[in-house]
Chain A
Amino acid sequence: MKFVDEYQNSELARRLAHRITNRSTKTIRLMEFCGGHTHAIMRYGIRQLVPKTVEMRSGPGCPVCVTATADLDKAIALAHLPEVIITTFGDMIRVPGSYSSLQQSKAEGADIRIVYSAIDAIETAVANPEESVIFIGIGFETTAPTIAASILKAQQRKIENFYVLSLNKLTPPVMKALLDLGEVKLDGIIGPGHVSVIIGSHPYEFISNSYGVACVISGFEPLDILLCIDKLVEQVENGQPKVEIAYPRGVKPEGNSKALQLMEEVFEVGGADWRGIGTIPQSGLKIRKEYERFDADKAFSVSLKPVREPKGCRCGDVIRGAATPPECKLFRKVCTPETPVGPCMVSSEGACAAYNQYGESCE
């Protein structure tokens, strides 16, 4: 695959890792903020390639994982309303809520369909005019513009039975929240590549300016990630933290202006609840009043029982980078991909699923 295979060369990767080892003298801790990076880092054994001086932590970059249990409960309750079809990205369906999961609801007869794209959700609405089709809108800035575009498309096509439950979240505010929390001291951040395709590099400036932490935006192939780590190590060694783009074939400093414009048109920024972190101001996207007829929150009301968090599950700590998956007592014992207790074991981008899939050697 062009623009992929070239960045997977194992000989180049070994040499790059060698250079990182040679120049790394300080013990540092890096966090990847994107679940895609978590997956790639484990898959390609990047943790074993970098020197012992470089510690890697996973952060809150798995959209399914950071979805608050209360929001998940709401999605499940919506699924049980009459004449409703729930459309959702696949990972979401197996995440346990307080009392049930979408998968369990589906087994009980609720109409829940996995879609690849918000466009598929619109087509589901067109094909089922007697039903209300609700799309569970999860994801960060990578996904939010696609959902905005689909709402605009639905309006243009005058589709009356399409709704979105907007649980979309923003990356810079959660980075700030974790840095303010100070629970895990970080020297550098592996910036999310595809979030940054949309928002560019400017929104991260506060990380180096206000917190003195290095931030390098990375692609998703092994050479991309190693190049990013090389730049982060260089910045920390030189004591000159700044924001850099190590993925310039995808990311421009200004981002994608069209995508930002559509997001701004459809969504407004508001507080959002994050699993393991709580409410973070200005970290979520809500549908604007002008488009409220597509807002599932406005169109449907459901009553919810009190939230119950899974006992013993440390997903919240894992999301904040305060614990690694093997530090959770349930990991691989009670909590497995077949019987997940928390979302971090369900989603392919969850740290627990990645640790579980790619092995012993990471512990």
Chain B
Amino acid sequence: MLIAMCLAIPVRIVSIEGDEAETEVAGVRRRVSIALTPEVNVGDYVLLHTGYAIGVVDEAEAEETLKLLEEIASLSEVR
């Protein structure tokens, strides 16, 4: 599998066992290391990069960004 080196995709934590977690994305399950994100909880989304969760997705910030985008869009009617 060729991978982009800075690619990280958001996956959901299904279960946690020590420094590893079972994750799920689009129906695909994968065991990943949470050695870099020991604070994660089941249900959190993490950014998965080369087998490691490198960060936790901040869902509130994700919502804020979407709101901002929609606000901008509503102010920019395309003629």
State the A residues within 8 Å of B (CB). Answer: 1-4, 6-7, 9, 11-12, 14-16, 18-19, 22, 34-36, 39, 61-64, 89-91, 114, 116-120, 138-140, 142-143, 145-146, 149, 152-153, 192-195, 197-198, 220, 223-224, 227, 230, 246-252, 256, 258-259, 262, 347-349
Contacts and interface: CB of A to CB of B under 8 A. Distances in A.
Given A36-B7, A62-B5, A89-B5, A18 B78 contact: yes
B61 interface: yes
Contact of B58 (A7, A145, A223, A250): A250
Contacts of B78: 14-15, 18
Interface of B: 1-10, 12, 25-26, 33, 35-39, 45, 47, 49-52, 54-55, 57-59, 61-62, 64-66, 68-70, 72-73, 75-78
B72 A4 contact: no
Contacts of A3: 10, 45, 57, 62
A152 B33 CA distance: 13
Contact of B3 (A34, A90, A249, A250): A90
A142 B3 contact: no
Given A1-B9, A1-B10, A192-B6, A16 B47 contact: no
B78 to A, nearest CB: 5
Given A3-B10, A3-B45, A223 B3 contact: no
Nearest to B6: A36
B1 A250 contact: no
B69 A16 contact: yes
B57 to A, nearest CB: 5
Contact of B49 (A2, A6, A61, A194): A194
Contacts, number: 170
A128 B76 CA distance: 60
B5 A91 contact: yes
A223 B69 contact: yes
A213 to B, nearest CB: 21
A262 B73 contact: no
Contacts of B54: 142, 145-146, 194, 197-198, 256, 259
Given A3-B45, A3-B62, A249-B62, A349 B5 contact: yes
A2 B26 CA distance: 9
A201 B10 CA distance: 21
A153 B35 contact: yes
Contacts of B4: 35-36, 39, 348-349
A1 B51 contact: no
B33 A197 contact: no
Contacts of B59: 249
A257 to B, nearest CB: 10
B6 A248 contact: no
Contact of A249 (B2, B61, B70, B76): B61
**A-B pairs, 7 with minimum CB distance:** A117-B51, A249-B62, A248-B61, A197-B55, A15-B73, A19-B76, A36-B6
